[in-house]
Amino acid sequence: MKLLEDRIKRDGTVLPGEVLKVDNFLNHQVDPQLMFELGAEFKRLFENEGVTRILTVESSGIAPALMAGYQMHVPVVFARKHRSLTLTDDLYTARVYSYTKQVNNDISIDKRFIKPNDKILIIDDFLANGQAVEGMLEIAKAAKVDVVGVGVVIEKRFQKGHQLVLDAGIHLEALASIASLDNNQVVFANSAE
Ligand code: 5GP
């Protein structure tokens, strides 16, 4: 998506450890107009999948997921992060290793917010090694619901997550796909230009 690639070129910075910092429009300060456009693009890409609910993880997935849900007229549920694993009968829980924070988080969703016939669209800000998406897939599996798509704002295609989602046979869309961050330069794969 050209609008997003241009914004990454303008405002993104590359940090050590192959981390792209985009905290002035996505991960800290959030640009609502841009999020609205991202939501419209997610709708265009997934509108034939029969999505009934969007699933994301707090906190950075919420803004794009909310806009996708707004455009698609479906509810948005965000998995909450817990410091300790408090398994109760009312929660679906998965353990997720955070790429940027290098800690394990237990993410959970109240069982009231996933229904048996749901068709889930997973949305997240980044796809790196795929741990966050794997956690959400685990929750969907436990809830016995279909995942009809994974939509991410930015994927780092050179890391494992991209292949992991494809290997699971799931429709994957990334609004910007980064082929490399070598030498602190952002190189897009299949640039929208
Ligand atoms: P994964 O679970 O796919 O390894 O990583 C996904 C999560 O890690 C994302 O939700 C995002 O919060 C964070 N993340 C991974 N790589 C990056 C990056 O390059 N930049 C930023 N800002 N966050 C990232």
- Reported ipTM: the value is 0.97
Among protein residues, the one with the nearest Cα to ligand 1's atom 22 is: 21
Counts for the chain of helices (H) and strands (E), in that order: 5, 10
Q: In this structure, how many other beta carbons lie within 10 angstroms of the beta carbon of residue 68?
A: 26
The structure's pTM equals 0.95
Contact 95, 123 (CB under 8 A): no
The pLDDT assigned to 102 comes to 87
Question: What does CATH list as the number for 2-78+114-188?
Answer: 3.40.50.2020
The strand pair at 172-180 and 187-188 is best described as antiparallel
Q: Residues 168, 169, 173, CA angle at the centre, nearest 5°?
A: 100
* Alpha carbons 42 and 132: distance in angstroms, whole number: 19
Digit-coded pLDDT (tens) for 50-86: 999 999 999 999 999 999 999 999 999 999 997 555 5
pLDDT at residue 6 above 80? yes
Q: Please state the domain extents for the chain.
A: 2-78+114-188
Alpha-helix residue ranges (DSSP H) falling in the chain: 2-11, 32-46, 62-72, 131-142, 161-167
Rg (CA), the chain: 16
The pLDDT assigned to 176 comes to 98
What is the band of 18 on the pLDDT scale with cuts at 50, 70, 90?
A: very high
In order of 71, 80, 167, the CA distances from 41 in angstroms are 9, 26, 24
Cα torsion 51, 145, 1, 25 to 10°: value is 100
Alpha-carbon torsion (147, 150, 24, 131), positive or negative: positive
Select from 26, 95, 99, 156 the residue to mutate for testing ligand 1; criterion: most ligand atoms less than 8 Å from CB: 99
- Report CA(71)–ligand 1 centroid distance (Å): 24
Atom of ligand 1 nearest to the CA of 15: 19
Task: Give the mean model confidence (pLDDT) for residues 158-182.
Answer: 98
pLDDT at residue 114 above 80? yes
Phi/psi for 136 (5° steps) reads -70, -35
* Alpha carbons 118 and 14: distance in angstroms, whole number: 38
